[in-house]
Structure 1
Amino acid sequence: MTPYGFDAGAWQESWDRQQEAYLPDREERFTALLNTVAATADGPAPAVLDLAGGTGSISLRVLRRFPHATTTLLDLDPVLLTIARESLDERSTVVTADLRDPNWAAGLPRRDYDAVLTATALHWIAPDRLTALYAEIRQVLRPGGVFVNADEMADDGLPELTTRLGDVNRARREARYTAGAVLSWQAWWDHVATDPLLGPLVEQRRKVFAEHHGTDWTPPVSWHLDTLRGAGYTQAGLVWRGGRDAAVAAVR
Protein backbone atom coordinates (compact mmCIF):
# COMPACT_ATOMS: atom_id res chain seq x y z
CA MET A 1 0.00 0.00 0.00
CA THR A 2 1.29 3.44 -0.91
CA PRO A 3 2.08 5.55 2.18
CA TYR A 4 -0.27 8.41 2.94
CA GLY A 5 1.01 11.64 1.45
CA PHE A 6 2.73 10.20 -1.63
CA ASP A 7 1.50 12.25 -4.58
CA ALA A 8 2.29 10.54 -7.88
CA GLY A 9 0.99 13.50 -9.86
CA ALA A 10 3.42 15.83 -8.12
CA TRP A 11 6.29 13.48 -8.91
CA GLN A 12 5.17 13.32 -12.53
CA GLU A 13 5.23 17.10 -12.69
CA SER A 14 8.67 17.18 -11.05
CA TRP A 15 10.00 14.62 -13.55
CA ASP A 16 8.51 16.52 -16.48
CA ARG A 17 10.10 19.81 -15.43
CA GLN A 18 13.51 18.18 -14.99
CA GLN A 19 13.26 16.44 -18.36
CA GLU A 20 12.01 19.55 -20.18
CA ALA A 21 15.11 21.44 -19.07
CA TYR A 22 17.26 18.77 -20.67
CA LEU A 23 14.98 18.39 -23.71
CA PRO A 24 13.30 21.73 -24.47
CA ASP A 25 11.36 20.21 -27.39
CA ARG A 26 10.26 17.16 -25.40
CA GLU A 27 6.55 17.70 -26.00
CA GLU A 28 7.17 18.09 -29.73
CA ARG A 29 8.70 14.61 -29.92
CA PHE A 30 5.82 13.18 -27.90
CA THR A 31 3.37 14.78 -30.31
CA ALA A 32 5.24 13.21 -33.24
CA LEU A 33 4.99 9.80 -31.57
CA LEU A 34 1.25 10.19 -30.95
CA ASN A 35 0.62 11.47 -34.47
CA THR A 36 2.34 8.37 -35.81
CA VAL A 37 0.09 6.16 -33.69
CA ALA A 38 -2.97 8.02 -34.99
CA ALA A 39 -1.80 7.51 -38.58
CA THR A 40 -1.25 3.77 -38.23
CA ALA A 41 -3.69 2.56 -35.55
CA ASP A 42 -6.25 -0.05 -36.53
CA GLY A 43 -9.29 1.57 -34.91
CA PRO A 44 -9.93 3.95 -31.99
CA ALA A 45 -8.39 1.74 -29.28
CA PRO A 46 -4.69 1.27 -30.08
CA ALA A 47 -2.63 -1.09 -27.96
CA VAL A 48 0.69 0.60 -27.23
CA LEU A 49 3.88 -0.78 -25.71
CA ASP A 50 5.72 1.98 -23.84
CA LEU A 51 9.27 0.64 -23.98
CA ALA A 52 11.69 1.77 -21.25
CA GLY A 53 8.74 3.92 -20.21
CA GLY A 54 10.06 5.28 -16.91
CA THR A 55 7.44 7.21 -14.95
CA GLY A 56 4.85 6.71 -17.70
CA SER A 57 5.31 9.98 -19.59
CA ILE A 58 4.39 8.40 -22.92
CA SER A 59 1.63 6.16 -21.56
CA LEU A 60 -0.11 9.07 -19.84
CA ARG A 61 -0.08 11.09 -23.05
CA VAL A 62 -1.30 8.12 -25.11
CA LEU A 63 -4.24 7.62 -22.76
CA ARG A 64 -5.17 11.31 -22.84
CA ARG A 65 -5.02 11.42 -26.64
CA PHE A 66 -6.75 8.05 -27.18
CA PRO A 67 -9.28 7.49 -24.35
CA HIS A 68 -9.97 3.90 -25.46
CA ALA A 69 -6.30 2.94 -25.79
CA THR A 70 -4.44 0.47 -23.60
CA THR A 71 -0.76 0.65 -22.76
CA THR A 72 1.89 -1.69 -21.45
CA LEU A 73 4.76 0.10 -19.74
CA LEU A 74 8.03 -1.83 -19.52
CA ASP A 75 11.03 -0.64 -17.53
CA LEU A 76 13.65 -1.78 -15.03
CA ASP A 77 14.11 1.28 -12.79
CA PRO A 78 12.45 0.62 -9.38
CA VAL A 79 12.05 4.34 -8.62
CA LEU A 80 10.45 5.31 -11.92
CA LEU A 81 8.31 2.16 -11.98
CA THR A 82 6.88 3.07 -8.57
CA ILE A 83 5.83 6.49 -9.84
CA ALA A 84 4.37 4.88 -12.98
CA ARG A 85 2.32 2.31 -11.05
CA GLU A 86 0.83 5.03 -8.84
CA SER A 87 0.06 7.25 -11.86
CA LEU A 88 -1.54 4.87 -14.36
CA ASP A 89 -5.03 3.40 -14.21
CA GLU A 90 -6.63 0.08 -15.19
CA ARG A 91 -5.99 0.77 -18.87
CA SER A 92 -2.29 0.15 -18.31
CA THR A 93 -0.16 -2.84 -17.40
CA VAL A 94 3.27 -2.29 -15.86
CA VAL A 95 5.99 -4.87 -16.53
CA THR A 96 9.47 -5.05 -15.02
CA ALA A 97 12.01 -6.34 -17.54
CA ASP A 98 15.59 -5.81 -18.67
CA LEU A 99 16.03 -4.95 -22.35
CA ARG A 100 19.56 -6.35 -22.20
CA ASP A 101 17.96 -9.79 -21.81
CA PRO A 102 16.78 -11.37 -25.08
CA ASN A 103 13.79 -12.73 -23.11
CA TRP A 104 12.60 -9.25 -22.11
CA ALA A 105 9.24 -9.76 -23.87
CA ALA A 106 8.30 -12.88 -21.89
CA GLY A 107 6.13 -10.95 -19.44
CA LEU A 108 4.17 -8.94 -21.99
CA PRO A 109 0.39 -9.49 -21.97
CA ARG A 110 0.24 -9.60 -25.78
CA ARG A 111 2.38 -9.84 -28.93
CA ASP A 112 0.28 -7.84 -31.37
CA TYR A 113 0.78 -4.20 -30.41
CA ASP A 114 -0.36 -1.45 -32.74
CA ALA A 115 2.66 0.63 -31.72
CA VAL A 116 5.86 0.36 -29.71
CA LEU A 117 7.06 3.77 -28.53
CA THR A 118 10.22 4.82 -26.76
CA ALA A 119 11.96 8.14 -26.14
CA THR A 120 15.39 9.10 -24.84
CA ALA A 121 16.01 5.63 -23.49
CA LEU A 122 17.79 3.21 -25.83
CA HIS A 123 21.10 5.08 -26.11
CA TRP A 124 22.49 3.11 -23.17
CA ILE A 125 22.15 -0.21 -25.00
CA ALA A 126 25.29 -1.53 -26.70
CA PRO A 127 25.31 -1.63 -30.54
CA ASP A 128 25.07 -5.40 -30.98
CA ARG A 129 22.29 -5.67 -28.41
CA LEU A 130 20.35 -2.75 -29.91
CA THR A 131 20.56 -4.37 -33.33
CA ALA A 132 19.02 -7.54 -31.91
CA LEU A 133 16.45 -5.55 -29.94
CA TYR A 134 15.16 -3.82 -33.07
CA ALA A 135 14.41 -7.23 -34.56
CA GLU A 136 12.80 -8.45 -31.33
CA ILE A 137 10.53 -5.40 -31.20
CA ARG A 138 9.26 -6.26 -34.68
CA GLN A 139 8.06 -9.60 -33.31
CA VAL A 140 5.68 -7.96 -30.79
CA LEU A 141 4.01 -5.74 -33.41
CA ARG A 142 0.98 -6.73 -35.45
CA PRO A 143 1.43 -6.62 -39.24
CA GLY A 144 1.25 -2.93 -40.11
CA GLY A 145 2.14 -1.91 -36.55
CA VAL A 146 4.73 0.80 -36.01
CA PHE A 147 7.84 1.22 -33.86
CA VAL A 148 9.01 4.75 -33.06
CA ASN A 149 12.27 5.58 -31.29
CA ALA A 150 13.06 9.21 -30.38
CA ASP A 151 16.59 9.80 -29.14
CA GLU A 152 19.84 11.58 -29.88
CA MET A 153 20.48 10.80 -33.56
CA ALA A 154 22.64 13.34 -35.34
CA ASP A 155 22.01 14.24 -38.98
CA ASP A 156 24.89 12.75 -40.99
CA GLY A 157 24.72 15.60 -43.49
CA LEU A 158 24.94 18.46 -40.95
CA PRO A 159 27.63 17.47 -38.46
CA GLU A 160 28.85 20.99 -37.66
CA LEU A 161 25.41 22.58 -37.46
CA THR A 162 24.09 19.70 -35.37
CA THR A 163 26.91 20.27 -32.87
CA ARG A 164 26.12 23.98 -32.68
CA LEU A 165 22.44 23.32 -32.13
CA GLY A 166 23.38 21.05 -29.25
CA ASP A 167 25.61 23.77 -27.81
CA VAL A 168 22.73 26.26 -27.86
CA ASN A 169 20.46 23.89 -25.95
CA ARG A 170 23.22 23.06 -23.48
CA ALA A 171 23.91 26.74 -22.73
CA ARG A 172 20.21 27.42 -22.15
CA ARG A 173 19.94 24.40 -19.87
CA GLU A 174 22.94 25.39 -17.78
CA ALA A 175 21.58 28.92 -17.43
CA ARG A 176 18.33 27.52 -16.02
CA TYR A 177 20.21 25.30 -13.59
CA THR A 178 22.35 28.23 -12.43
CA ALA A 179 19.28 30.41 -11.87
CA GLY A 180 17.55 27.66 -9.91
CA ALA A 181 14.66 27.56 -12.37
CA VAL A 182 14.68 23.77 -12.50
CA LEU A 183 16.48 20.79 -10.99
CA SER A 184 19.30 19.15 -12.90
CA TRP A 185 19.29 15.38 -13.46
CA GLN A 186 21.59 14.77 -10.48
CA ALA A 187 19.77 17.27 -8.26
CA TRP A 188 16.47 15.54 -9.04
CA TRP A 189 17.85 12.18 -7.99
CA ASP A 190 19.34 13.72 -4.83
CA HIS A 191 15.85 15.02 -4.07
CA VAL A 192 14.31 11.58 -4.71
CA ALA A 193 16.71 10.10 -2.15
CA THR A 194 15.07 12.18 0.60
CA ASP A 195 11.54 10.86 -0.06
CA PRO A 196 10.23 8.29 2.46
CA LEU A 197 8.86 5.96 -0.23
CA LEU A 198 11.24 6.50 -3.15
CA GLY A 199 14.44 7.08 -1.19
CA PRO A 200 14.97 3.44 -0.15
CA LEU A 201 14.53 2.42 -3.79
CA VAL A 202 17.45 4.58 -4.92
CA GLU A 203 19.95 2.03 -3.59
CA GLN A 204 18.12 -0.72 -5.46
CA ARG A 205 18.37 1.43 -8.56
CA ARG A 206 22.14 1.79 -8.16
CA LYS A 207 22.51 -1.98 -8.09
CA VAL A 208 20.21 -2.48 -11.08
CA PHE A 209 22.07 0.05 -13.21
CA ALA A 210 25.60 -0.67 -12.01
CA GLU A 211 26.58 -1.72 -15.55
CA HIS A 212 23.95 0.14 -17.56
CA HIS A 213 24.94 3.73 -18.15
CA GLY A 214 28.50 3.21 -19.37
CA THR A 215 27.44 2.72 -22.98
CA ASP A 216 25.69 5.97 -23.92
CA TRP A 217 26.00 5.13 -27.62
CA THR A 218 24.41 7.65 -29.99
CA PRO A 219 24.96 6.74 -33.66
CA PRO A 220 23.65 8.96 -36.48
CA VAL A 221 20.16 8.55 -37.82
CA SER A 222 21.45 6.61 -40.85
CA TRP A 223 22.58 3.77 -38.56
CA HIS A 224 19.11 3.45 -37.08
CA LEU A 225 17.39 3.43 -40.46
CA ASP A 226 19.80 0.90 -41.94
CA THR A 227 19.45 -1.35 -38.89
CA LEU A 228 15.65 -1.18 -38.91
CA ARG A 229 15.53 -2.08 -42.59
CA GLY A 230 17.94 -4.92 -41.94
CA ALA A 231 15.64 -6.17 -39.18
CA GLY A 232 12.88 -6.73 -41.74
CA TYR A 233 10.62 -3.72 -41.32
CA THR A 234 8.79 -2.86 -44.54
CA GLN A 235 9.26 0.91 -44.12
CA ALA A 236 11.67 3.02 -42.10
CA GLY A 237 12.17 6.78 -42.01
CA LEU A 238 12.24 10.00 -40.03
CA VAL A 239 9.04 11.42 -38.48
CA TRP A 240 10.58 14.22 -36.41
CA ARG A 241 13.80 16.16 -35.87
CA GLY A 242 14.83 18.73 -33.30
CA GLY A 243 18.50 19.72 -33.18
CA ARG A 244 20.61 16.67 -32.35
CA ASP A 245 17.54 14.54 -31.66
CA ALA A 246 15.22 12.73 -34.03
CA ALA A 247 12.43 10.17 -34.09
CA VAL A 248 12.66 7.24 -36.49
CA ALA A 249 9.63 5.13 -37.33
CA ALA A 250 9.51 1.64 -38.78
CA VAL A 251 6.46 -0.29 -39.95
CA ARG A 252 6.21 -4.06 -39.67
Structure 2
Amino acid sequence: MTPYGIDPVAWQESWDRQQEGYLPDREERFAALLDTVEAVADGPGVTILDLAGGTGSISLRALRRFPYATTTLVDVDPVLLTIARESLDQRSTVVTADLRDPDWTAGLPRHDYDAVLTATALHWIAPERLTALYAEIRQVLRPGGVFVNVDRVPDDGLSGLGARLGDVARRRRESRHAAGAVLSWDAWWDHVAKDPVLGLLLEQRRQVFAERHETEWNPPLSWHLDTLRTAGYTETGLVWRGGRDAAVAAVR
Protein backbone atom coordinates (compact mmCIF):
# COMPACT_ATOMS: atom_id res chain seq x y z
CA MET A 1 0.00 0.00 0.00
CA THR A 2 1.41 3.39 -1.00
CA PRO A 3 1.17 6.57 1.09
CA TYR A 4 -1.76 7.55 -1.16
CA GLY A 5 -3.71 4.47 -0.11
CA ILE A 6 -3.69 2.24 -3.18
CA ASP A 7 -1.86 -0.99 -3.92
CA PRO A 8 -0.38 -0.34 -7.39
CA VAL A 9 0.70 -3.95 -7.89
CA ALA A 10 -2.86 -5.17 -7.34
CA TRP A 11 -4.33 -2.52 -9.63
CA GLN A 12 -1.78 -3.31 -12.35
CA GLU A 13 -2.71 -6.98 -12.16
CA SER A 14 -6.41 -6.12 -12.26
CA TRP A 15 -5.91 -3.85 -15.28
CA ASP A 16 -3.81 -6.47 -17.09
CA ARG A 17 -6.39 -9.21 -16.60
CA GLN A 18 -9.24 -6.95 -17.76
CA GLN A 19 -7.30 -5.88 -20.85
CA GLU A 20 -6.30 -9.46 -21.68
CA GLY A 21 -10.00 -10.30 -21.83
CA TYR A 22 -10.15 -8.07 -24.90
CA LEU A 23 -6.63 -8.73 -26.16
CA PRO A 24 -5.56 -12.34 -25.49
CA ASP A 25 -2.29 -11.71 -27.36
CA ARG A 26 -1.51 -8.55 -25.40
CA GLU A 27 1.93 -9.67 -24.21
CA GLU A 28 2.83 -10.70 -27.76
CA ARG A 29 2.08 -7.23 -29.05
CA PHE A 30 4.10 -5.63 -26.24
CA ALA A 31 7.03 -7.89 -27.13
CA ALA A 32 6.80 -6.72 -30.76
CA LEU A 33 6.93 -3.11 -29.58
CA LEU A 34 10.03 -3.70 -27.49
CA ASP A 35 11.74 -5.75 -30.22
CA THR A 36 11.31 -2.72 -32.47
CA VAL A 37 12.81 -0.44 -29.83
CA GLU A 38 15.81 -2.75 -29.54
CA ALA A 39 16.28 -2.61 -33.31
CA VAL A 40 16.74 1.18 -33.26
CA ALA A 41 18.28 1.65 -29.80
CA ASP A 42 21.40 3.80 -29.87
CA GLY A 43 23.20 2.51 -26.77
CA PRO A 44 21.84 1.14 -23.47
CA GLY A 45 20.16 4.36 -22.31
CA VAL A 46 17.17 4.14 -24.66
CA THR A 47 14.54 6.88 -24.32
CA ILE A 48 10.87 5.99 -24.81
CA LEU A 49 7.75 8.12 -25.01
CA ASP A 50 4.79 6.05 -23.81
CA LEU A 51 1.88 7.78 -25.53
CA ALA A 52 -1.61 7.50 -24.01
CA GLY A 53 0.18 5.20 -21.58
CA GLY A 54 -2.64 4.66 -19.09
CA THR A 55 -1.51 2.72 -16.03
CA GLY A 56 2.02 2.36 -17.43
CA SER A 57 1.77 -1.08 -19.01
CA ILE A 58 4.30 -0.31 -21.75
CA SER A 59 6.67 1.66 -19.51
CA LEU A 60 6.80 -1.07 -16.88
CA ARG A 61 7.68 -3.71 -19.46
CA ALA A 62 10.20 -1.45 -21.19
CA LEU A 63 12.00 -0.71 -17.94
CA ARG A 64 12.21 -4.41 -17.11
CA ARG A 65 13.65 -5.23 -20.52
CA PHE A 66 16.00 -2.22 -20.77
CA PRO A 67 17.49 -1.55 -17.30
CA TYR A 68 19.07 1.75 -18.36
CA ALA A 69 16.05 3.05 -20.24
CA THR A 70 14.01 6.09 -19.29
CA THR A 71 10.38 6.59 -20.19
CA THR A 72 7.98 9.50 -20.37
CA LEU A 73 4.35 8.51 -19.96
CA VAL A 74 1.66 10.84 -21.32
CA ASP A 75 -2.02 10.45 -20.55
CA VAL A 76 -5.03 12.51 -19.52
CA ASP A 77 -7.07 10.03 -17.44
CA PRO A 78 -6.69 10.96 -13.73
CA VAL A 79 -7.50 7.44 -12.51
CA LEU A 80 -5.02 5.66 -14.77
CA LEU A 81 -2.39 8.34 -14.18
CA THR A 82 -2.65 7.82 -10.42
CA ILE A 83 -2.01 4.11 -10.82
CA ALA A 84 0.91 4.86 -13.16
CA ARG A 85 2.53 7.36 -10.79
CA GLU A 86 2.31 4.88 -7.92
CA SER A 87 3.75 2.07 -10.06
CA LEU A 88 6.71 3.68 -11.84
CA ASP A 89 10.08 4.60 -10.38
CA GLN A 90 12.49 7.49 -10.88
CA ARG A 91 13.36 6.32 -14.38
CA SER A 92 9.96 7.53 -15.56
CA THR A 93 8.39 10.94 -15.93
CA VAL A 94 4.60 11.11 -15.93
CA VAL A 95 3.01 13.98 -17.85
CA THR A 96 -0.65 14.95 -17.90
CA ALA A 97 -1.50 16.05 -21.44
CA ASP A 98 -4.39 15.63 -23.86
CA LEU A 99 -3.44 14.35 -27.31
CA ARG A 100 -6.44 16.17 -28.73
CA ASP A 101 -4.60 19.41 -27.91
CA PRO A 102 -1.91 20.42 -30.45
CA ASP A 103 0.18 21.73 -27.53
CA TRP A 104 0.45 18.30 -25.89
CA THR A 105 4.24 18.25 -26.45
CA ALA A 106 4.85 21.36 -24.32
CA GLY A 107 5.29 19.41 -21.08
CA LEU A 108 7.67 16.76 -22.43
CA PRO A 109 11.14 16.72 -20.84
CA ARG A 110 12.78 16.13 -24.24
CA HIS A 111 12.02 16.10 -27.98
CA ASP A 112 14.51 13.52 -29.24
CA TYR A 113 13.15 10.13 -28.20
CA ASP A 114 14.47 6.87 -29.60
CA ALA A 115 10.93 5.50 -29.72
CA VAL A 116 7.33 6.62 -29.34
CA LEU A 117 5.04 3.71 -28.46
CA THR A 118 1.29 3.51 -28.07
CA ALA A 119 -1.16 0.62 -27.81
CA THR A 120 -4.93 0.40 -28.22
CA ALA A 121 -5.53 4.10 -27.65
CA LEU A 122 -5.52 6.28 -30.75
CA HIS A 123 -8.76 4.88 -32.22
CA TRP A 124 -10.68 7.44 -30.16
CA ILE A 125 -9.04 10.37 -31.96
CA ALA A 126 -10.88 11.99 -34.88
CA PRO A 127 -9.36 11.52 -38.36
CA GLU A 128 -8.18 15.08 -38.91
CA ARG A 129 -6.64 15.24 -35.45
CA LEU A 130 -4.91 11.86 -35.82
CA THR A 131 -3.41 13.04 -39.10
CA ALA A 132 -1.92 16.06 -37.34
CA LEU A 133 -0.81 13.93 -34.37
CA TYR A 134 1.22 11.61 -36.59
CA ALA A 135 3.20 14.62 -37.82
CA GLU A 136 3.62 15.98 -34.27
CA ILE A 137 4.98 12.63 -33.08
CA ARG A 138 7.65 12.76 -35.78
CA GLN A 139 8.87 16.06 -34.32
CA VAL A 140 9.66 14.48 -30.93
CA LEU A 141 11.69 11.60 -32.42
CA ARG A 142 15.41 11.75 -33.06
CA PRO A 143 16.51 11.04 -36.65
CA GLY A 144 16.30 7.28 -37.03
CA GLY A 145 13.87 6.97 -34.13
CA VAL A 146 10.71 4.89 -34.50
CA PHE A 147 7.02 5.37 -33.84
CA VAL A 148 4.88 2.26 -33.31
CA ASN A 149 1.10 2.28 -32.96
CA VAL A 150 -0.61 -1.02 -32.06
CA ASP A 151 -4.35 -0.85 -32.57
CA ARG A 152 -7.24 -2.19 -34.62
CA VAL A 153 -5.82 -1.92 -38.15
CA PRO A 154 -8.04 -3.70 -40.67
CA ASP A 155 -6.37 -5.30 -43.67
CA ASP A 156 -7.69 -3.61 -46.82
CA GLY A 157 -7.96 -6.93 -48.62
CA LEU A 158 -9.85 -8.86 -45.92
CA SER A 159 -12.88 -6.74 -45.07
CA GLY A 160 -15.35 -9.64 -44.98
CA LEU A 161 -13.11 -12.16 -43.25
CA GLY A 162 -11.87 -9.48 -40.86
CA ALA A 163 -15.42 -8.78 -39.73
CA ARG A 164 -16.06 -12.50 -39.16
CA LEU A 165 -12.85 -12.81 -37.15
CA GLY A 166 -14.13 -9.94 -35.04
CA ASP A 167 -17.38 -11.83 -34.41
CA VAL A 168 -15.43 -14.87 -33.23
CA ALA A 169 -13.36 -12.77 -30.82
CA ARG A 170 -16.46 -10.97 -29.52
CA ARG A 171 -18.32 -14.22 -28.79
CA ARG A 172 -15.30 -15.66 -26.97
CA ARG A 173 -14.90 -12.48 -24.91
CA GLU A 174 -18.59 -12.29 -24.00
CA SER A 175 -18.52 -15.90 -22.84
CA ARG A 176 -15.56 -15.18 -20.55
CA HIS A 177 -17.26 -12.10 -19.13
CA ALA A 178 -20.49 -14.02 -18.53
CA ALA A 179 -18.61 -16.80 -16.73
CA GLY A 180 -16.71 -14.32 -14.55
CA ALA A 181 -13.35 -15.43 -15.95
CA VAL A 182 -12.30 -11.82 -16.48
CA LEU A 183 -13.76 -8.40 -15.77
CA SER A 184 -15.37 -6.41 -18.54
CA TRP A 185 -14.43 -2.76 -19.08
CA ASP A 186 -17.55 -1.56 -17.22
CA ALA A 187 -17.06 -4.05 -14.39
CA TRP A 188 -13.47 -2.86 -13.89
CA TRP A 189 -14.64 0.71 -13.53
CA ASP A 190 -17.27 -0.47 -11.02
CA HIS A 191 -14.36 -1.66 -8.86
CA VAL A 192 -12.66 1.71 -9.27
CA ALA A 193 -15.84 3.42 -8.06
CA LYS A 194 -15.75 1.36 -4.85
CA ASP A 195 -12.11 2.24 -4.10
CA PRO A 196 -11.80 4.99 -1.46
CA VAL A 197 -8.94 6.70 -3.32
CA LEU A 198 -9.50 6.09 -7.02
CA GLY A 199 -13.25 6.45 -6.73
CA LEU A 200 -12.82 10.07 -5.71
CA LEU A 201 -11.23 10.78 -9.10
CA LEU A 202 -14.17 9.60 -11.18
CA GLU A 203 -15.92 12.98 -11.31
CA GLN A 204 -12.68 14.57 -12.49
CA ARG A 205 -12.43 11.84 -15.11
CA ARG A 206 -15.97 12.51 -16.31
CA GLN A 207 -15.10 16.17 -16.76
CA VAL A 208 -11.95 15.35 -18.70
CA PHE A 209 -13.87 13.22 -21.18
CA ALA A 210 -17.10 15.23 -21.23
CA GLU A 211 -16.55 16.50 -24.77
CA ARG A 212 -14.78 13.43 -26.12
CA HIS A 213 -15.82 12.04 -29.47
CA GLU A 214 -17.21 8.64 -28.49
CA THR A 215 -17.16 6.93 -31.88
CA GLU A 216 -14.27 4.56 -32.51
CA TRP A 217 -12.46 5.10 -35.79
CA ASN A 218 -10.40 2.23 -37.15
CA PRO A 219 -8.97 3.12 -40.56
CA PRO A 220 -7.39 0.41 -42.70
CA LEU A 221 -3.68 -0.19 -43.01
CA SER A 222 -3.46 1.85 -46.24
CA TRP A 223 -4.66 4.97 -44.42
CA HIS A 224 -1.98 4.67 -41.74
CA LEU A 225 0.82 4.09 -44.24
CA ASP A 226 -0.27 6.94 -46.52
CA THR A 227 -0.67 9.36 -43.61
CA LEU A 228 2.71 8.47 -42.10
CA ARG A 229 4.48 8.86 -45.44
CA THR A 230 2.82 12.23 -45.98
CA ALA A 231 4.01 13.28 -42.51
CA GLY A 232 7.60 12.70 -43.64
CA TYR A 233 8.58 9.35 -42.15
CA THR A 234 11.24 7.56 -44.20
CA GLU A 235 10.06 3.97 -43.64
CA THR A 236 6.57 2.65 -42.87
CA GLY A 237 5.09 -0.82 -42.50
CA LEU A 238 3.97 -3.55 -40.11
CA VAL A 239 6.13 -5.08 -37.40
CA TRP A 240 3.36 -7.34 -36.05
CA ARG A 241 -0.12 -8.53 -36.91
CA GLY A 242 -2.62 -10.58 -34.95
CA GLY A 243 -6.02 -11.01 -36.56
CA ARG A 244 -7.58 -7.59 -37.09
CA ASP A 245 -4.95 -5.81 -34.98
CA ALA A 246 -1.50 -4.73 -36.09
CA ALA A 247 1.56 -2.73 -35.07
CA VAL A 248 2.22 0.00 -37.62
CA ALA A 249 5.79 1.32 -37.47
CA ALA A 250 7.32 4.44 -38.96
CA VAL A 251 10.96 5.57 -38.88
CA ARG A 252 11.92 9.23 -38.82
TM-score range, shorter chain: over 0.9
1:44 positional shift: 1.4
Per-residue displacement from partner, 1:121-167 (whole Å, max 9, x unpaired)? 00010000000000000000000000000000100011111112111
The question of whether the paired residues in 1 share the 8 Å contact of 2:146 and 2:251 is answered with yes
Equivalent in the alignment of 2:116: 116
The letter for the 2-side match of 1:203 is E
Do the aligned partners of 2:126 and 2:213 also contact (CA within 8 Å) in 1? no
- The amino acid across from 2:198 in the alignment is L
Query: SS of the counterpart of 1:49?
Result: strand
What's the secondary structure of 1:16's corresponding residue? helix
Q: Does 1:167 align with 2:152?
A: no
Q: How far apart in 2 are the matches of 1:84 and 1:203?
A: 19
Answering whether residue 48 of structure 2 is matched by residue 48 of structure 1, we say yes
Give the aligned partner of residue 19 of structure 1: 19
Q: How does 1:150-165 map to 2 (within 5 A)?
A: 150-165=150-165
CA distance in 1, matches of 2:9, 2:245: 27
Q: Would the aligned equivalents of 1:124 and 1:217 in 2 still touch at CA under 8 Å?
A: yes
1:204 matched to which residue of 2? 204
**2:70 counterpart residue number:** 70
**8 Å contact 2:53–2:75 — kept in the other structure?**
yes
Residue 215 of structure 1, CA deviation: 3.2
Partner of 2:33: 33
TM-score, normalisation: structure 1: 0.98
Q: How big is each residue's C-alpha offset from its partner over 1:38-96, in whole Å with a ceiling of 9 and x where there is no partner? A: 00111112100000000000000000110100000000000000000000000000000
The structure-2 alpha-carbon separation of the partners of 1:4 and 1:204, relative to structure 1 and needing over 3 Å to count, comes to closer
- Aligned AA for 2:180? G
Distance (whole Å) between structure 2 residues aligned to residue 44 and residue 160 of structure 1: 44
| RMSD value, Cα | 1.2
| Aligned residue in 2 for 1:194 | 194
TM-score (norm 2): 0.98
When residues 19 and 213 of structure 1 are mapped into structure 2, their CA distance, relative to the original with a 3 A threshold, is farther
- Mapped to 1, the partners of 2:91 and 2:70 lie a distance apart of 5
Deviating 4+ runs (over 4 angstroms)? 1-5
Distance 2:59 2:158 in 1: 33
**Equivalent pair of 2:5/2:197 in contact (CA under 8 Å):** no
- Residue identity in the other structure for 1:250: A
Aligned to 1:125: 125
Q: Which amino acid aligns with 2:17?
A: R
1:2 Cα deviation (Å)?
A: 4.9
How many residues align structurally?
A: 252
State the distance in 1 between where 2:247 and 2:129 align: 20
Deviation at 1:176, TM superposition (A): 0.5
Query: Quick one: which amino acid aligns to residue 118 of structure 1?
Result: T
Contact 1:3–1:197 under 8 Å retained in 2:
no
Percent of matched pairs sharing the same residue: 81
Code of the residue aligned with 2:113 in structure 1: it is Y
Distance 1:2 1:89 in 2: 13
Structure 1: tracts of 5 or more residues without a match: none
Q: Deviations over 1:92-132 (max 9, x none)?
A: 00000011111100000000000000000000100000000
Say if 2:88 is the partner of 1:88: yes
Name 1:233's counterpart in structure 2.
233
Shift of 1:183: 0.7
CA distance in 1, matches of 2:222, 2:204: 36
What amino acid maps onto 2:158 in structure 1? L
Q: Which moved more, 1:198-207 or 1:76-85?
A: 198-207
Measured in 2, the distance between the counterparts of 1:114 and 1:3 equals 33
Bigger Cα displacement from structure 2, 73-82 vs 212-221: 212-221
